[in-house]
Amino acid sequence: MRDKLVEKAKTLQSALPYIREFYGKTFVIKYGGSAMTVESLREDFARDVVLLRYVGIKVVVVHGGGPQISQTLERFGIKPHFVGGMRKTDEETMHVVEMVLSGDINKDIVALINTHSGQKVYAVGLSGRDGQLIRARKLDKTAYFTELGLDVPEEDIGYVGEVEGVNMELLQVLMDRGYIPVIAPVGVGEEGEAYNINADVVASEVAMALGAEKLIFLTDTEGVKDGEGRLISSLSKERALGLISGGVIKGGMVPKVRSALKALQGGVGKVHIIDGRVPHSILLEVFTEEGIGTEIVK
């Protein structure tokens, strides 16, 4: 029994240098995948986020919700439609997107974190439309698909947006008062219209606006892998671009890695792509020397 207690004490002590290093710094976490749907992982995520805040790290959560949006659309009799891998978002679809992201999912995450938060740390839910938090415009699909090396679709993508600016002041005020902002990736246009924005992109833009120390993507993969399927623990910009152009990094990992590289260029300290299916993956990546995923560095 005593040996187990001593081992626990050593584990806590080994985290001290990292706690000291990151005290007062800001982490932006993109929350998605199995970590959002598997109950035990949801609980682990909430506890990890609360722990980070209690040891003096400011935390902002940006969440996705693609599968939940598709399920709700089908319940309303609307067939989900994708153009070049991107959800076509007409006015009716945008209404459902906002209802699911800013309503059901956002408030569920807030309630989950607050269940574990105690008396001094609280999560607060925000849509990008609240306080002009995420100012947006319609996505330039030509530039977007060309940058990814894909054919530009002729079909209109509707209310799919890209970030023009982030209301950093609103987030800073909330964090300085001990709150954990939880952001739904819905932006607001010049006329007050809503835009559906990729959550990876929103997380990257928020991290840049805040000058975050870390941007962490929770995924359903171990991290970025090389051509032989081996996990890459540390990845430079040059190698990442080479793996993208060579077709090794593909699919949904491409926008994540591109968002990571943009974040680093915009002043974020480090970006981590980690496996959210691993219990307490955030703590393992942040507070251990080995980490568990891919760290993308300048």
| Other CB atoms within 10 Å distance of the CB of residue 3 | 7
| Other CB atoms within 10 Å distance of the CB of residue 248 | 18
Q: Does residue 170 carry a pLDDT above 80?
A: yes
Q: Which is it for the CA torsion 69, 72, 78, 79, positive or negative?
A: positive
Q: Does residue 149 carry a pLDDT above 90?
A: no
Helix (H, G, I), strand (E, B) or coil at 263: helix
Helix (H), strand (E) at residue 281: helix 281-286
Q: Quick one: pLDDT at residue 71?
A: 93
Q: Quick one: pLDDT at residue 9?
A: 67
Of the candidates 208, 227, 222, the one whose C-alpha atom is nearest the C-alpha of residue 281 is 222
Distance CA 139, CA 150 (A): 15
Q: Please give the domain boundaries of the chain with CATH numbers for all domains.
A: 23-297 (3.40.1160.10)
- Angle, helices 168-176 vs 199-210, to 10°: value is 70
Q: Quick one: pLDDT at residue 251?
A: 76
Q: Does residue 5 carry a pLDDT above 60?
A: no
Of the candidates 102, 60, 56, 71, the one whose C-alpha atom is nearest the C-alpha of residue 197 is 102
Contact 185, 202 (CB under 8 A): yes
Of the candidates 137, 227, 243, the one whose C-alpha atom is nearest the C-alpha of residue 191 is 137
Scored b (16 or more CB within 10 A) or e, 159-169 reads bbbbbeebbee
pLDDT band at 269 (very low <50, low <70, confident <90, very high): very high
CA angle 88, 205, 87 (to 5 degrees): 10
Beta pairing partners, 163: 136
Q: How much is the pTM?
A: 0.92
Amino acid at 174: L
Which residue intervals of 183-276 are DSSP H helices? 199-210, 237-245, 253-265
Which of 76-90, 176-190, 202-216 is predicted with the least confidence, judged by mean pLDDT? 76-90
pLDDT tens digits along 86-141: 889 999 999 999 999 999 999 999 999 999 887 778 999 999 999 999 999 999 98
Helix (H), strand (E) at residue 181: strand 179-184
Distance CA 281, CA 38 (A): 14
Q: Quick one: pLDDT at residue 1?
A: 66
pLDDT tens digits along 60-82: 999 999 889 999 999 999 998 88
Distance CA 278, CA 297 (A): 22
Q: Does residue 164 carry a pLDDT above 80?
A: yes
User: What proportion of the chain, given as a percentage, has pLDDT over 70?
Assistant: 96
Per-range mean pLDDT, top range of 154-158, 164-168, 227-231, 247-251:
164-168
Q: Quick one: pLDDT at residue 290?
A: 72
The whole-number average pLDDT for the span 241-245 is 87
Distance CA 294, CA 80 (A): 32
